[in-house]
Structure 1
Amino acid sequence: MARRRLPAVLAAFALVAGIAVASPALADPIDDRRKAAEQRAAANAKAQADAEAAMEGLDANLQATASRLLDLQAQIPAAQAKLDEAKAALEKAQREAALIAARLVDAQEQQVTLSAKIQTDTDEAAKMRAAIGQMAREAYRGGGEVSGVSVILDAQSTEDFVQKYGLVSTALRTQAQVLDALKAAEASNRNAQARLDAVEDRIAELKAEADQKVVEADQAREAAADAKASLDALVAEQQAQQASLESQKSALAAALAQMDAEAKAIENELRAAIEAQRARDAAAGRPQPAPGPVGGGLFGNPTSISPMYVTSEYGMRLHPTLGYVRLHAGIDLRTYCNTKVYAGRAGTVTWAKTRFGFGNQVMIDSGFVNGNAVSASYNHLTSFAVATGQRVERGQLIGYSGNTGTSAACHLHFEVYVNGATTNPRPLLGL
């Protein structure tokens, strides 16, 4: 059960839930952003648990709206992280596509250069072959093979010999040079052709890679668009839920006031009963001693879950979407719908009835402990197994757990009253 202690914070109604949806800095690694999203999700899970405790006592419509807003708050960080990842994937695909495009342009430029070189070398080789053929034809018309012996025999004088021998030597050297140049041109052509073949293979590979990157970029762009649409839808719904809560502000204030009145009525009823008991004891000559400390372990496990499992502690709660601070005046113990609930301590059933917010409630008076009047309430029960005025023993079945009243889910909300005021039940349960 939650009780209002700081009503002034209603001015912050529906503002606490604001979620920043701006993208993290682009320089942040995706892993860091994912980790941050996980931390936000864990914080939202805790907020959900605290809110369920704080929402006890609220109208069902308010609970539903506030719960949905909490769900949205939990989903938005994950949706933002998904959008960031999709954007990063798209940017990566675009960068890789640009890199592949640059490599393809370079390879195509190499293809053009090598093709031109091959054509030039082919033309030069053709010219050299033509020149060699011309030399051969000239030699054939001049008498066939030319040698040093024929030059000597045919010479008419020493001067004639020197002149003819010089011409023959020059012709032979020219022919050898042309042959060497032809061989070099043909070798260069073969090397250029091999490089051209490799470049053309690479061009085919790059074109295939470029086509794949286009597909990947399209998929990443579609994923980013879907993620953006999902995030926009969540944010729009969040804004609508916040507006709905704002419109129910007066209903919230009324619900809180009614809860406060019911809690105050319970305390007044218990204090009146305590004063009446003290008066009867004094009249009978059995006055109670001055109140002393209340020891731990007064109560046994009231649930069928062993060991006991606390789902929400005693203490102040800031509702993360409604913006008010309330005291969660007991502890919530895990039970399941329609499971057995037992008396944690022997006593007399003060009442077994339905109370606003608390649902079906059993209040058990366990008398005085070291001068202190001790009672405990068992709340949100589905049904009763005891009646008002009945004496019960520790461990006796008193009802079945449930979700009556303004409860968020089946559980046992257990409260302990010492001298008419709530106290933390944890130590008194031996926890």
Structure 2
Amino acid sequence: MTRLRLSAFLAVLVLLVTGVLAGPASADPIDDRRRAAEAQREAIAKAREQTEAAMEGVSAEIQALAVQLADTQAKIPGAQAVLDAAKTALEKAQREAAIIAARLVDAEEQQATITTTIAQDTEHAAAMRAAIGQMAREAYKGGGGVSSVDVILDSQSTDDFVQRYGLMATALRTQAQILDELKAAESANRNAEARLVAVKEKIAELKAAADQKVVEADAAKAAATAAKKALDDLLAQQVQQQAALDATKAALEAELARADAEAAQVQRELEQAIAEQRARDAAAGRPQGPPGAIGGGLFGNPTSISPIYVTSDYGMRLHPTLHYVRLHAGIDLRTYCNTPIYAGRGGTVTWAKSRFGFGNQVMIDSGFVNGNALSASYNHLTSFAVSSGQHVERGQLIGRSGNTGTSAACHLHFEVYVNGSTTDPRPLLGL
């Protein structure tokens, strides 16, 4: 058995949508976005299709409410993904802005340090130049300079010579040291000036980047705000639509009860017709043997869609609104409005008429197969191409698809009856 539950549809949809959105990045982001959009459209279409199938058997008004609710719920995962992406973009912009701000503070601190160092080195160099100038002035006052010859000639004694020579050597060493320090200070200052220019350029770049990040963060914040509003609107719409659908439960229960009663009446009519046929065959000396196994592939494709596309299977399913298990007694096949519907197997048209829930229905009796009475119904047709009592061949046009009865969209609801009871048409269609 297949249990079709709207919440399950939406859970699958969430996996489809989020799985696509969160998938690994490829070399072509445009293709990624196109694939994600296509996957989301397919998921929403599948959710709508399954919801329409689950709502079969109720009025168009209630169906419309259910489909609207399903559409809203199907959009919620995508809206949540957009919001998550917007939040991620905002957080990324904020992180990058914080990193740039920290780098800017560091660069500005470097600028201040280098500027202070340049000022101190400049002051030190000025002091050394002043010292060298003072030494030059003192030498000028003393006669323009002191040579080793002057030291020897002017010395009064050996001790005086030693003393004079030592003073001269100390003065020369001091002068050379000051000159070396001045050269080093000037070289350091040139390097510091170059570093300062580079730091100033970096500060200008960081400020421009910071301004750009402010723009990006503002845009990301606006996108996140818009995405949150879109999601909140969908959630509020979901609550309203669910409340509107819940308000229809009494009418919905009555309609489903009537549809079930009509299905039971169809089964009784078929069982009566089968009993009458068995009696006629027995009276004519052609009694039917005990029912045996029925093979697969007894029916051909009744639609113009090839290969056959199943939108909803046979079996028990949980109703998305009333939350009770109900038999989906046939198989829903994809067709489009007013497209041809063909006899899946030859036989006699039992009736071609409108029935509650089924809409325009063609019932074809294909006689007995291995002792089993075999019939099939073609439902929700928009028009008939055959009439009661008419013999039809397999593949013959019997009508056109539609949306009559309690159907949510154009499709073919195909049922197979074995001895008056419905059975899963899949194996009999060769699926």
> Equivalent residue of 1:306, what SS?
coil
> Equivalent residue of 1:363, what SS?
strand
Q: 1:353·1:362 contact (CA, 8 Å) conserved in 2?
A: yes
> Equivalent residue of 1:144, what SS?
coil
Instruction: State the match for 1:274 in structure 2.
Output: 274
**1:102 and 2:102 equivalent?**
yes
For residues 306 and 100 of structure 1, do their structure 2 counterparts lie closer, same or farther at Cα, with a shift above 3 Å needed? closer
Q: Identity over the aligned pairs, expressed in percent?
A: 71
What letter is aligned with 1:147?
S
Instruction: State the match for 1:332 in structure 2.
Output: 332
Q: 1:51·1:318 contact (CA, 8 Å) conserved in 2?
A: no
Report deviation, 1:360. 0.8
Q: 1:55·1:63 contact (CA, 8 Å) conserved in 2?
A: yes
- Range that drifts further, 54-63 or 314-323: 314-323
Distance in 2 (CA, whole Å) between partners of 1:141 and 1:387 is 140
- Range that drifts further, 182-191 or 274-283: 274-283
Distance in 1 (CA, whole Å) between partners of 2:24 and 2:68 is 25
- CA offsets per residue over residues 393-427 of structure 1, 9 Å max, x none? 22222111112122222222111111111111122
Report deviation, 1:308. 2.6
> Equivalent residue of 2:100, what SS?
helix
Report deviation, 1:310. 2.4
Distance in 1 (CA, whole Å) between partners of 2:228 and 2:322 is 27
Normalization by structure 1: what TM-score? Answer: 0.88
Distance in 1 (CA, whole Å) between partners of 2:344 and 2:165 is 133
For residues 16 and 368 of structure 1, do their structure 2 counterparts lie closer, same or farther at Cα, with a shift above 3 Å needed? closer
> Equivalent residue of 1:378, what SS?
strand
Q: 1:70·1:321 contact (CA, 8 Å) conserved in 2?
A: no
Distance in 1 (CA, whole Å) between partners of 2:320 and 2:308 is 27
Q: 1:41·1:77 contact (CA, 8 Å) conserved in 2?
A: no
**1:128 and 2:119 equivalent?**
no
Distance in 2 (CA, whole Å) between partners of 1:168 and 1:221 is 77
Instruction: State the match for 1:66 in structure 2.
Output: 66
- Range that drifts further, 156-165 or 212-221: 156-165
> Equivalent residue of 1:108, what SS?
helix
Distance in 1 (CA, whole Å) between partners of 2:56 and 2:342 is 22
Instruction: State the match for 1:429 in structure 2.
Output: 429
Instruction: State the match for 1:172 in structure 2.
Output: 172
- Range that drifts further, 289-298 or 139-148: 289-298
Distance in 2 (CA, whole Å) between partners of 1:66 and 1:322 is 12
> Equivalent residue of 2:402, what SS?
coil
> Equivalent residue of 2:22, what SS?
helix
Distance in 1 (CA, whole Å) between partners of 2:50 and 2:144 is 113
- CA offsets per residue over residues 271-297 of structure 1, 9 Å max, x none? 122222222333333332222222222
Alignment of 1:336-415 (within 5 A): 336-415=336-415
Instruction: State the match for 2:14 in structure 1.
Output: none
Q: 2:374·2:419 contact (CA, 8 Å) conserved in 1?
A: yes
Instruction: State the match for 1:22 in structure 2.
Output: none
* Structure showing greater relative contact order (alpha-carbon pairs closer than 8 Å, 6 or more residues apart): 1
> Equivalent residue of 1:293, what SS?
coil
Distance in 2 (CA, whole Å) between partners of 1:292 and 1:373 is 11
Report deviation, 1:154. 2.4
Report deviation, 1:213. 1.1
What letter is aligned with 1:226?
A
- CA offsets per residue over residues 148-204 of structure 1, 9 Å max, x none? 112222233334333332332222222111111111111111122122122111111
- CA offsets per residue over residues 105-155 of structure 1, 9 Å max, x none? 111111111101100110111011011111111111110121011222223
- Range that drifts further, 221-230 or 366-375: 366-375
Q: 2:89·2:220 contact (CA, 8 Å) conserved in 1?
A: yes
Q: 2:47·2:74 contact (CA, 8 Å) conserved in 1?
A: no
> Equivalent residue of 1:56, what SS?
coil
For residues 33 and 69 of structure 1, do their structure 2 counterparts lie closer, same or farther at Cα, with a shift above 3 Å needed? farther
- CA offsets per residue over residues 229-263 of structure 1, 9 Å max, x none? 11101100111111111111111111111111111
Distance in 2 (CA, whole Å) between partners of 1:197 and 1:361 is 88
Q: 1:17·1:321 contact (CA, 8 Å) conserved in 2?
A: no
> Equivalent residue of 1:288, what SS?
coil
Report deviation, 1:17. 9.0
What letter is aligned with 1:163?
Q
For residues 41 and 412 of structure 1, do their structure 2 counterparts lie closer, same or farther at Cα, with a shift above 3 Å needed? closer
What letter is aligned with 2:22?
D
Unaligned runs of 5+ in 1: 20-29
Normalization by structure 2: what TM-score? Answer: 0.88
- Range that drifts further, 415-424 or 338-347: 338-347
Distance in 2 (CA, whole Å) between partners of 1:281 and 1:120 is 123
Instruction: State the match for 2:290 in structure 1.
Output: 290
**1:312 and 2:312 equivalent?**
yes
Report deviation, 1:15. 8.4
Instruction: State the match for 1:31 in structure 2.
Output: 22
For residues 212 and 67 of structure 1, do their structure 2 counterparts lie closer, same or farther at Cα, with a shift above 3 Å needed? same
Q: Figure out how many residues of one structure are paired with residues of the other and give that number.
A: 411
Q: 2:380·2:403 contact (CA, 8 Å) conserved in 1?
A: yes
Instruction: State the match for 1:27 in structure 2.
Output: none
What letter is aligned with 1:407?
S
What letter is aligned with 2:387?
A
**1:111 and 2:102 equivalent?**
no
Q: 1:41·1:74 contact (CA, 8 Å) conserved in 2?
A: no
Instruction: State the match for 1:83 in structure 2.
Output: 83
Distance in 2 (CA, whole Å) between partners of 1:392 and 1:91 is 68
Report deviation, 1:309. 2.6
Distance in 2 (CA, whole Å) between partners of 1:314 and 1:61 is 25
Report deviation, 1:264. 0.8
Q: 2:246·2:321 contact (CA, 8 Å) conserved in 1?
A: no
Instruction: State the match for 1:219 in structure 2.
Output: 219
Distance in 1 (CA, whole Å) between partners of 2:359 and 2:161 is 137
Instruction: State the match for 2:16 in structure 1.
Output: none
What letter is aligned with 2:225?
A
What letter is aligned with 1:334?
R
- CA offsets per residue over residues 33-64 of structure 1, 9 Å max, x none? 999x9999987765543322221111111111
Instruction: State the match for 1:252 in structure 2.
Output: 252
Unaligned runs of 5+ in 2: 12-20, 26-31
